Structure 1
Amino acid sequence: MRRDKASTQTTLILSIMSEKIKMESKLRTNGTKCATQSKKHNDDDYDPHLHRNVKNPTTNSQTLAHFLKGSIGSGVLAMPSAFANSGYANGLLLTFVIGIIAVYCLHILINSMYELCKRKRVPYLTFSEAMKIGLQGGPPIFKCVIPIATPFVDGFLAFYHFGICCVYVVFIAESIKQIVDEYLIVLDLRIHMCFLLVPLLLIYSIRNLKFLAPFSAVANVLLLTGLGIVLYFIFDNMPPISERVAFQEITRIPIYFGTVLFALEAVGVILAIEENMKTPKDYLKPFGIMNVGMTIVLTLYMLFGFFGYWKYGEGALGSVTLNIPQKDVLAQVAKIIFAITTWISYSLQGYVTADIVWNKYLSKRVKNISNHTLYELVIRTCIVLLTFCCAVAVPNLSLFLSLVGSFCLSILGLIFPAILQICVQYDTGYGAWRYKLIVNILLVAFGALGGILGTYVSVKEIVDFYQ
């Protein structure tokens, strides 16, 4: 009797405890669910775009002008040379594919940065800040690189746009040299680079994108005029297409890859102009500034690459302006136009380098705020001098283009955006069949392969050039 009674009491106690545990578990689950829903609701309520405080915001038309000026520079003039390394059929197909991939990567990059801004409830994150925060919430495999994420991304961004500025110095000097050689005196290319120092310092002293907008608008008008003149020479007396190669040797594709990436991608400028917009929501709309701008850019690049290669074949130089007749007055006008537009683009591309070096790392070390303008101008002067020195060291335009594109843009434009989206969607999932994860892994592989091969071939070509 006692044993049965004790057993009954034990069963009753266990039953009560079990019910209590179930209720506590249910309460915890409901609490977590409510907290999650509350957090999600709060995240949905917070719109980073509405909390941005931009000092001198740009309008949509100004932003499009910056976008086109930042994306259409010496790169479009290098497309015939790129097609010479791929063949016209390969060039058309691969340029279209790389263009679509580039636009997709820019979309996932900006969308991922926006999502992280919502989660952290901040109006804006830089590329490097977003990478660090993304890695912190991403797969454990990335934890080891978190400490170096910020300086690594900043370093690549600053170096890439610094490299573009070096290419621009070479391009402007080449354009001026052809005209001076014809009318005045034949001088070494490096001497013409010396003459550029003062004009570059003047345009680079403009520190605000808002004040650069009128220059970009004028440059775009000049650019269209110059491109029209170049097309006039390209379409004049075209040879038979049968004299050109549809598919080049595969060993020449890495040089093509680097040149096209350089031409199509301007990650830092694209992010900078989005940050300074008055209405940033218009940037990524289906018919927004990025899609419209990239459609114009991609069409122009394919047009110039195909017809420029058709006209000049294997003789296509690092800039097609070097192929058009040197003694023709109209050709000389085009060269002057492109020299001016590239001079303006120098300040736009160099804006990213100066912004990272000064605003992010050095300005905080100068306690006296009244001296900030002076010190920033000193930093900008040093950047101009360094681009000059690098341009003097490697004055071969096409090889420099390919090296900068392969080394930097495969990482900044393909690998980093894919990794960032992997990290941002680590908790929320990658969709049916984990397709977003698979796509991003393929992007990382594509960027790594193209970057390694392109960099290796470009460095080898530069070494061979000096031997």
Structure 2
Amino acid sequence: MALNNNDYKNKENASCQAHSTLTLDMDNKVENYNPLIHRKVAHPTSTLGSFLNLLKSSLGSGVLAMPAAFKDTGIIPGCIGTILVGIIATHCIHILVQTSRDVCKETQEPSLSYSDTCEKVFKHGPKWTRPWSTFFKHFADFAMVAVCLGGTAVYVVFIASSLKDIFDHFYPEQEYDVKIYCAMLLIPLILIAQVRYLKFLVPFSVVANVCFMITFGITCFYTFTGVDNHMDTKLVTDVSQWPLFLSTAIFAMEGINVVMPVENEMSNPEHFLGCPGVLSTTMILVVLLYGAVGLFGYLKYGESVLGSITLNLPGDEPLALSAKFLIAVAVFFTYCLQMYAPMDIIWLRIKSRFKKKFYNIAQIALRTLSVVFTVVLAVAIPDLELLIGLVGAIFFSTLGLLIPVIIETVHKWERDLGLYFYVLWKNGLLVLFYLLVLFSGCYLSISKMVNKYS
């Protein structure tokens, strides 16, 4: 039946009103979507639990390397530098989490991982960035893999150095090079790296945490008692040595690889940012602790301080020897925990190349080759201090500094760069800081290796 003119106009008006209402509802939905209240986590973590998890990720074996970092700068730049690196690391974590939340709000997703955040930022950024979304996701994933594998290579040297000290004490007539101990660790590390499921790694984590805390307590006992200001300690060293401090401090403090899982699984994620919040409280404590250990460790042992302060503990006292043994055990069990993330990332990308019946063999081969790589790297660079500097300069700075700066810049490029484009200026300075750490840290580490081993 045909409609008359008035009927047509009434229906058209009704249609326009319905469209306007729908558009308004959609706009309200996008504008008011809060990803924090839409998260459904099976086993959410309390605010205190999140604080402890983040503290554990930042408070690892790297704290034992801080006295050696102070040796590269001297007392005054070391104290200032620790605060500076702490502020920069905290800021980069903050902009990563905030950008992830902003993207979640726009895409109406409750949470995103580190690499998914990178992908979504590029996909919903300026047109010229969208073709790069998949590439940047892979870049973030492989940066995570590099951080974990580089860190585990440091662990190998860490364990080998501790074992060498112990065996040199009990068998002084048979002193072996630290490279031999690195090579001896190959089979045990291959075996422990075959553990594939996180629930089976929990006992290892418990043992590692207990051993580390006992070792840390013993180390603090030796460090903070009987401090004698050595004549060879310096207030300020040559500026050319400072880059090693920066790369070591970044290696020690950066726990950005676990930030997104911790924040995504909080029962009250609104408590993560802000002041006081989980992030700010954790990093203030980390900076104070790292600064104290670095300062007093350097005052205690002076220019003779080694890549891990545990290596400076007396070699003929049972308490000190027990600390060296316990830290070796702690780092050994942490090795398989650190291997979990990179193996998962790599396996997800290569599993489609294998038939299902070969999955088990392929996983064993992947994990074995990864362990061989870390041991070969450790044998090639058996100096703990220089290896930490190199890994920190290349891998930890890329994951912890460069990528967060890039994703914030891309995300805000067409949205809000702030008054006088302050976001660009600020991030430009951070990129310059990253390049300083990268190139000067690498140059100094490699040149010292060449001089030492040539």
Partner amino acid, structure 2, of 1:329 = P
Tell me if the contact between 1:88 and 1:246 (Cα under 8 Å) persists in the aligned partners.
yes
Closer/same/farther in 2, CA of residues 256 and 357 from structure 1, 3 Å limit? same
1:129 deviates by 3.3
The aligned counterpart of 1:16 is none
- Which residue of the other structure, out of 65, 83, 89, is the alignment partner of 1:102? 89
**Mapping 1:124-273, distance limit 5 Å:** 124-139=111-126, 142=129, 146=133, 148-184=135-171, 185-240=174-229, 243-273=232-262
Aligned partners of 1:457 and 1:110: how far apart in 2? 33
3-state SS in 2 of match to 1:78: helix
1:69 aligns with 2:44: no
| Correspondent of 2:336 among 337, 347, 353 | 347
**RMSD of the TM alignment (CA)?**
3.1
Greater mean deviation of Cα atoms: 385-394 or 339-348 = 339-348
Deviation per CA, 1:98-142, whole angstroms, max 9, x where unpaired? Answer: 101101101111221222233223344333332233234445675
1:422 Cα deviation from its structure 2 partner: 1.4
Q: 1:205 to 1:316 in 2, by over 3 A?
A: same
Structure 1 pair 100–213 and aligned structure 2 pair: CA distance change class (3 A)? farther
Corresponding residue for residue 13 of structure 1: none
Deviations 1:171-212 (A, max 9, x none): 011101111121144333233223323443344334344554
Give the counterpart of 1:451 among 418, 438, 448: 438
Equivalent residue letter for 2:379:
V
Distance 1:365 1:37 in 2: 45
Q: Deviations over 1:215-263 (max 9, x none)?
A: 4344333323212211222234322366521111110011111111111
Corresponding residue for residue 417 of structure 2: 430
Sort the Cα spacing of 1:202 and 1:50 in 2 relative to 1 into closer, same or farther, 3 A: farther
Match of 1:45 among 33, 38, 62: 33
The Cα shift of 1:411 comes to 2.0
- The alpha carbon displacement at 1:74 in A equals 2.4
Aligned to 2:11: none
Whether 1:401 and 2:401 are equivalent positions in the alignment is: no
Q: CA separation in 2, counterparts of 1:376 and 1:46? A: 39
Give the deviation of 1:166 after TM superposition.
0.2
Q: State the SS of the aligned residue for 1:317.
A: coil
Q: Does the Cα contact within 8 Å between 1:230 and 1:334 map onto a contact in 2?
A: yes
| SS of structure 1 residue aligned to 2:73 | coil
One-letter amino acid matched to 2:371: V
Paired letter, 1:100? I
Q: Which amino acid aligns with 2:29?
A: H
Q: Distance in 2 between matches of 1:463 and 1:326?
A: 29
- Compared CA separation, residues 35 and 228, structure 1 to 2 (3 A): same
Structure 1 residues 138 and 315: alpha-carbon distance in aligned structure 2, compared to 1, 3 A threshold: same
Match among 301, 304, 317 for residue 312 of structure 1 = 301
Tell me, yes or no, if structure 1 residue 462 matches structure 2 residue 449: yes
Where structure 2 has 5 or more consecutive residues not aligned to the other structure, the ranges are: 1-15
Pair 1:118–1:396, CA change in 2 (3 A): same
Deviation at 1:312, TM superposition (A): 1.2
Q: What letter is aligned with 1:151?
A: H
1:386–1:33 Cα change, 3 Å: farther
Q: Which amino acid aligns with 2:326?
A: I
CA distance in 1, matches of 2:304, 2:131: 48
Alignment TM-score, normalising by the size of structure 1: 0.83
Q: 1:110/1:355 Cα in 2 relative to 1: closer, same or farther (>3 Å)?
A: farther
CA gap of 1:61–1:340, structure 2 versus 1, over 3 A, is farther
1:44 maps to a residue whose letter is N
User: Unaligned regions of 5+ residues in structure 1, if any?
Assistant: 1-26
In structure 1, what is the Cα distance between the partners aligned to 2:407 and 2:37?
20
* Contact 2:66–2:249 (Cα < 8 Å) also in 1: yes
Please say which of residues 331-340 and 149-158 is displaced more in the overlay. 149-158
State the one-letter code of the partner of 1:178: D
Cα distance in 1 for partners of 2:229, 2:51 equals: 38
Q: 1:197 to 1:447 in 2, by over 3 A?
A: same
Distance 1:32 1:446 in 2: 50
Change (3 A) 1:432 1:178: same
* Range moving further from structure 2, 275-284 or 237-246: 275-284
Match of 1:93 among 54, 76, 80: 80
Q: In the TM superposition, what whole-angstrom CA distance separates every residue of 1:433-466 from its partner, at most 9, and x where no partner exists?
A: 4333322222122212222211222222222222
1:466–1:39 distance in 2 versus 1, CA, 3 Å: farther
Q: d(CA) in 2 for partners of 1:175 and 1:213?
A: 24
For the 8 Å contact 1:410–1:448, the answer to whether it is kept is no
Aligned counterparts of 2:21 and 2:233: Cα–Cα separation in 1: 65
Query: What fraction of aligned residue pairs are identical, expressed as a percent?
Result: 34
- The answer to whether the Cα contact below 8 Å between 1:87 and 1:246 also exists between their aligned partners in 2 is yes
Q: CA deviation at 1:48?
A: 6.2
Find the residue that maps to 2:88 and give its secondary structure: helix
Report the Cα distance in structure 2 between the residues aligned to 1:221 and 1:84, rounded to whole angstroms.
29
For 1:402 and 1:350, how far apart are their aligned partners in 2?
21
For 2:294 and 2:20, the matched residues in 1 are separated by 57
Contact kept? 1:65, 1:216, Cα under 8 Å = no
281 and 371 in structure 1: CA distance in 2 versus 1, 3 angstrom threshold = farther
Q: What is the total number of aligned residue pairs between the two structures? A: 437
2: CA distance, partners of 1:290 / 1:208: 28
Q: Closer, same or farther in 2 for the Cα pair 1:287/1:445, shift >3 Å?
A: same
Q: Which amino acid aligns with 1:234?
A: T
Structure 2 match to 1:383: 370
1:279-294 correspondence runs (5 A): 280-284=269-273, 286-294=275-283
| Superposed displacement of residue 66, structure 1 | 4.0
